[in-house]
C-alpha cells in the first residue's frame, strides 16, 4: 500500500489511514488529553504524512515513520498552545497500601490507577515516552528513532523519567520509601 500511495493512489493512502488511525489517535490523545484537539492533531499528522510520503525511504517500518510524524506534530501543537503544561503534583496523597501481605484486587486496581495518574501528570513528551516503552512495547531503538535522539540518549531519558515517577509514587506512598 505504501508503494501504491507513493505513486499517487489515494485509495491506497486511505487504506493506510484506516489501518493506522487508531495508533495515531491513541498517541496524540495520550499527549493532549483532549478528544477534539487530538482529532485535529491526528488529522494534521496524516496530512503531513501524505505530503511527505516521497520522503519515506523505507529505512524503518511505515508505522514507525508515521508515529514519528504524529509525535512531532503533537509536540508542535503543544508548543504553540502553552495551556498544556505539566500539572502540579497533588499534595493530598492518598494511602493505597495496606499492611496486609495479601492485597485485594481492589487495592491492586487502585495502585494501577495511581501509577497511570502519575504518568498522566508527567509532561506530555515524557508521558508519551513511557507509554511507548511500557504500553506499546516499543524498543528503545524504535523510540529513539521516533523522538529523533540516539538510543543511548533514549536510555538516559527513560532512566530519568523512571526516577521522576519513582519520586511521584513515593509521595503517593505507593512505593516504600
Same-domain pairing of 160 and 120: yes
- The residue from 30, 45, 80 where one domain ends is 80
Report the pLDDT averaged over residues 60-80.
89
Same-domain pairing of 13 and 73: yes
Residue 133 lies in a domain: yes
Residue 151 lies in a domain: yes
- Is pLDDT above 90 for 79? no
Rounded (5°) CA angle 162-127-2:
120
Q: pTM of this prediction?
A: 0.58
Compute, in degrees rounded to 10, the torsion defined by CA atoms 39, 113, 137, 151: 90
Residue 7 lies in a domain: yes
Domain, as residue range, for 18:
2-80
pLDDT (tens digit per residue) in 13-61:
889 889 999 999 999 998 888 999 999 999 999 999 988 888 888 888 8
Same-domain pairing of 15 and 58: yes
What pLDDT was estimated at residue 103? 44
Structural domain tally of the chain? 2
Same-domain pairing of 71 and 123: no
Same-domain pairing of 72 and 109: no
pLDDT (tens digit per residue) in 120-170:
899 989 999 998 998 888 899 999 998 899 999 999 999 999 999 999 888
Same-domain pairing of 73 and 8: yes
49 vs 8, higher pLDDT: 49
Amino acid at each position: 500500500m505504501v508503494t501504491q500511495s507513493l505513486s499517487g493512489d489515494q485509495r491506497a493512502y486511505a487504506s493506510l489511514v484506516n489501518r493506522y488511525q487508531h495508533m495515531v489517535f491513541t498517541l496524540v490523545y495520550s499527549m493532549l488529553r483532549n478528544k477534539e484537539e487530538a482529532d485535529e492533531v491526528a488529522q494534521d499528522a496524516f496530512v503531513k504524512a501524505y505530503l511527505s510520503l516521497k520522503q519515506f525511504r523505507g529505512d524503518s517500518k511505515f508505522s514507525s515513520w508515521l508515529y514519528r510524524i504524529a509525535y512531532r506534530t503533537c509536540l508542535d501543537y503543544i508548543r504553540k498552545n502553552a495551556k498544556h503544561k505539566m500539572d502540579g503534583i497533588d499534595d493530598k496523597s492518598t494511602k493505597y497500601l495496606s499492611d496486609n501481605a495479601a492485597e485485594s484486587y481492589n487495592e491492586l486496581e487502585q495502585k494501577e490507577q495511581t501509577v497511570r495518574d502519575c504518568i498522566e501528570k508527567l509532561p506530555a513528551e515524557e508521558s508519551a515516552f513511557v507509554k511507548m516503552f511500557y504500553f506499546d512495547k516499543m524498543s528503545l531503538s524504535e523510540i529513539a528513532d521516533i523522538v529523533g535522539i540516539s538510543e543511548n540518549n533514549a536510555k538516559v531519558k527513560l532512566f530519568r523519567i523512571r526516577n521522576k515517577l519513582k519520586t511521584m509514587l513515593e509521595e503517593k506512598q505507593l512505593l516504600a520509601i
